[in-house]
Amino acid sequence: MPQEKTTLDRIYLSDYQPPGFLITTTALHFELSANNTRVRSQLSIRRLSSDQGSLRLDGEALVLESIRLDGKELTPDQYTIDDHSLTVHDVPSRFTLQIENCIDPAANTKLEGLYLSSGNFCTQCEPEGFRRITYFIDRPDVLSEYTVTLNASVTDCPVLLSNGNMLSTETLPNGRHQVTWHDPHPKPSYLFALVAGDLGFIEDRFTTASGRDVRLRIYAVERDLGQCRHALDALIQAMRWDELRYGREYDLDCFNIVAVEDFNMGAMENKSLNIFNTRYVLALPETATDQDYQAITGVIGHEYFHNWSGNRVTCRDWFQLSLKEGFTVFRDQEFSAEQGSAGVKRIDDAKLVRGPQFLEDSGPMAHPVRPTSYAEINNFYTLTVYIKGAEVVRMLANLLGPVLFRKAATNILITTMVKQ
């Protein structure tokens, strides 16, 4: 039986090994219920390494109902299960795995995976939350094309959102309905998202440089919709800026932002379905300061810019976190500088480095921008990785100059774009 992970275990960069299997396509079906959500997955899998006879899937806080390989239900002696994983023995080189499991979103107080926020279903999967939804190879170098079907009560969840473009909607018996979404761009599991609940929205349109018409929406509870306009305007500005500065157009038919009260990260760049803490979306002149407005502009820009620097071009492993976060912080700093005073913005950014980040560097939490090991991945999200990482990118930009830096950055975003 696989050895249990303990709090003393450390993950080392030097131990990195490429994945033994690739999940080419992922089809998920959710029957949403507060205390007993049923998740059915169909995974198309191929072996990458000839010495991998068994497939290990990550999974935590899941109740396994059934597992089938190429349509045939497996017996207990054909797989091993523990609190952290499901291992299927003697798998072929190419196969389809069908898994059914149940989860309890209402009891998920860790706010990782699928949970309830003010009665609405919401997800947070970065860095390792997807394994609390279903069994999967939950690591950033395994990318898959997702099709997601959400089934829920029309009364409780009139809005059903996931990544990509909406394919279909259907009214079902017993007061339920379902919506199917498809994301054609392969992505790691940490970028999966779903939101389901009773939400309103405000809407606008954006036409890309090549003429694609994109529908933009910000979802929130009805009472908050009047405070969302600045965030929507900031999104439009960010989309245009990324086209002009880096030549990066948006690549789907819709882009959605959801503002929720219970969110353990400030915001999350899930592909086409960004989820934000309300702090970084809601603002009115009567109650918000200039700094509040600036923070919203910066965070909206940051998460949108991840569409390319992080989503389409992603990390090999979590030791590369600053490759997406440091670069994207630099991008959002430059964007924010152009929306206001570049001089004031640079002073503010320098204060953040010389103050809190320098303190981190001089204390017991000091670590390089790319650490060599970690015991808890959630402790990786530091000022050093984000802010000092951005300063490393800025140094390179200053050395190369604006013309060469744009060529270099664009080349990275194009040539390393995810292709499977």
Q: What is the pLDDT of residues 271-301, one digit of tens each?
A: 999 999 999 999 999 999 999 999 999 999 9
Q: State how far the Cα of 274 lies from the Cα of 231, in Å rounded to an integer.
A: 12
418: confidence class by pLDDT, cuts 50, 70, 90: very low
Map residue 392 onto helix, strand or coil: helix
Distances (CA, A) of 257 to 4, 21, 164, 199, 375: 38, 33, 13, 12, 32
Fold of 318-415: Neutral Protease; domain 2 (1.10.390)
Q: What pLDDT, in 10s, does the model give residues 309-361?
A: 999 999 999 999 999 999 999 999 999 999 999 999 999 999 999 999 999 99
Q: By the 8 A CB rule, do 295 and 332 touch?
A: no
Query: Using CA atoms, how far apart are residues 110 and 108, in angstroms rounded to an integer?
Result: 5
Active-site option among 60, 112, 145, 303: 303
Q: What is the mean pLDDT of the chain?
A: 96
Q: Of the given ranges (199-203, 258-262, 393-397), which has the lowest mean pLDDT?
A: 258-262
Ramachandran sector of residue 100 (left: φ over 0; alpha: ψ -120 to 50; beta: rest): beta
Of the candidates 218, 143, 216, the residue with the CA atom closest to the CA atom of residue 184: 143
Question: Rounded mean pLDDT of 203-209?
Answer: 99
| pTM of the predicted model as reported, rounded to 2 decimal places | 0.96
- Confidence label for 252 from pLDDT (cuts 50, 70 and 90): very high
Task: Detail the DSSP E strand segments found in 9-158.
Answer: 11-12, 21-31, 37-47, 55-58, 63-69, 72-73, 79-81, 85-88, 94-103, 113-117, 120-124, 143-153
Distance of CA 386 to the CA centre of its chain: 16
Tell me how far apart the alpha carbons of residues 288 and 307 are, in angstroms, rounded to a whole number: 28
Given a cut of 80, is residue 5 above it in pLDDT?
Answer: no
Q: What is the mean pLDDT of residues 163-192?
A: 98
pLDDT of residue 325: 98
Query: Does position 57 have pLDDT exceeding 60, yes or no?
Result: yes
31 among known catalytic residues: no
| Cα–Cα distances in angstroms (integers) from residue 104 to residues 60, 96, 112, 359, in the given order | 12, 26, 12, 40
pLDDT of residue 4: 47
Per domain, the residue ranges of the chain are 23-195, 200-285, 318-415
Q: Give the CATH number of domain 23-195.
A: 2.60.40.1730
Query: For residue 312, what is the DSSP state?
Result: T
pLDDT of res. 1: 42
pLDDT of residue 170 exceeding 90, the answer is: yes
Instruction: Give the integer Cα–Cα distance in Å for 293 and 72.
Output: 56
- pLDDT value of position 416: 77
Mean pLDDT calculated for residue range 364-391: 97
Domain at 200-285, CATH class: alpha beta
The edge-to-edge listing of strands for the beta sheet with 63-69 is: 72-73, 63-69, 94-103, 37-47, 21-31, 143-153, 176-188, 165-171
Phi-psi region of 28 (alpha: psi -120 to 50; beta: other; left: phi over 0): beta
Angle, CA 21 vertex, CA 87 and CA 13 arms, to 5°: 90
Q: pLDDT band at 3, cuts 50/70/90?
A: very low
Mark residue 247 as left, alpha or beta (left: phi above 0; alpha: psi -120 to 50; beta: remaining).
left
Confidence category of residue 8, pLDDT binned at 50, 70, 90:
low
